[in-house]
Amino acid sequence: MKHLLTTKELTREEAELILDVTEQMAEAVTGREVPKLPALRGRTVVNLFYEDSTRTRTSFETAAKRLSADVVNFAAKTSSVNKGESLRDTALTLQAMGADAVVIRHPAAGAPQRLTEWLDGAVLNAGDGTHAHPTQALLDAYTMKKRLGDIEGRTVAIVGDILHSRVARSNIWLLTKLGATVRLVGPPTLLPKDIDDWPVEIGYDLDASLKGVDAVMMLRVQHERQNAAFFPTANEYSRLYGLDERRLALMPDHAIVMHPGPMNRGMEIAAAVADSPRATITEQVTNGVWVRMAVLYLLLTNGESK
C-alpha cells in the first residue's frame, strides 16, 4: 500500500491487516501512562484540510502524534474550486517541504488521487466530496468487529442519504469485501443512479429493512438537502427514515446502532437511541484514532520496523 484513497482498491487481506494492526495499536497504547509509540519519529505528516472538520482532523492529528510523528496542520481555507492557490501548487509546496504523508480532506471527489500525481509522499484520503472516506469505513468495521465479534455473515443496514455519502460508499466496498451483507435504505431521491451492479440490497422501507440486521448505520442528513426537494420536510424524513425507539425495538437485541457523526438528534436519530447502550457512537470516535494510527503506520513503514 502506497496510498489509501478508497476501500474499493483494498484487497481483503490488506483490509484485514489494517484491522489487525488497529487492534495492536489499541492494545499497545491503552492504559499506558504515556500513550505514545516511537514508530514514526522524525516523519512529517501534513493534515491538508479543505473542509472544516475538527473531528476528523483532530483524530488524524492525535493518531500521528501517538506514533511520534511531526504533525503540520495546513488549513487550506480555499481551494482552486473557489479561486485560491491551486491544489497542484499546494502539492508542490508540500513536496518541497518534505512531507512523508499528506492527509487530505477535500470537497472535490478525486482530489486525493490527483494529489498522488504531484507529490511523492503517501496520500491518505480523509474524505473527498461524495466519493470516499476510507478510514471512516475502517473504523466502522473495527467497531463492528469489537462489538459483534466478526463481520463475515453479518447484515448491515446503511440508512439515509446514500447519494451524497462518502461514508456509505466506503462502507459498501469494505463491508461486502469482508463478507457482510449490506442493505441500503432511503428514499429513491437519495439513492445513487444505476447501482444494480453494486453488491447490495436496496430498500425504501426502513421498518422492513431492520429485520434481522446486526448493525444499522444512520447517515447524517445535510440541512441543505431539504431545500433541494430530495424530501418534503424534515418531519416527514424523520417519520420515514429516522431511528426512534419503536424502530430500535424492531431490531434484534444484539444489533448495534452506528453513526459517523455529527448527529442531527431528532432528525435521523432520536436522542434516546443515540444515548442508548446499543449505540456505538463514542466508541467509533475512539476506534478512529487506532485505525488512523494503523493506516499511518502501514503506509509510512510498509509494516516493517515494528
| Residues annotated within a binding site for L-aspartate | 83, 166, 220
Residue 129 binding other proteins, by CB under 8 A: yes
Residue 169 binding other proteins, by CB under 8 A: yes
| Catalytic residue list contains 83 | yes
Number of H helices, E strands in the chain: 11, 9
Candidate list 3, 43, 105, 259, residue with the active-site label? 105
Which grid coordinates belong to 109?
A: 471527489
Distance (Å, rounded) from C-alpha 230 to C-alpha 68? Answer: 45
Residue 193 binding other proteins, by CB under 8 A: yes
Binding segment (CB under 8 A) for other proteins, from list 21-29, 58-66, 125-133, 253-261? 125-133
Distance (Å, rounded) from C-alpha 239 to C-alpha 242? Answer: 6
Binding segment (CB under 8 A) for other proteins, from list 23-31, 38-46, 108-116, 142-150? 108-116
| Catalytic residue list contains 133 | yes
Nearer to other proteins among residue 154 and residue 177 (C-beta): 177
Contact of 159 with 207, CB cutoff 8 Å: no
Q: Characterise 110 by phi-psi region: left (phi > 0), alpha (psi -120 to 50), beta (else).
A: left
Candidate list 77, 83, 193, 282, residue with the active-site label? 83
**Grid cell 470516499 in the structure block, residue:** 132
| 197, 224, 253, 304: which one binds other proteins (CB under 8 A) | 197
Site string for other proteins, 61-80 (x = CB under 8 A): ------------------xx
Distance (Å, rounded) from C-alpha 231 to C-alpha 240? Answer: 10
Residue 109 binding other proteins, by CB under 8 A: yes
Of 74, 47, 48, the closest CA to residue 62 belongs to: 47
Residue 53 binding other proteins, by CB under 8 A: no
Distance (Å, rounded) from C-alpha 72 to C-alpha 102? Answer: 9
Candidate list 57, 106, 133, 259, residue with the active-site label? 133
| Catalytic residue list contains 55 | yes
- Residues forming the active site: 55-56, 83, 105, 133
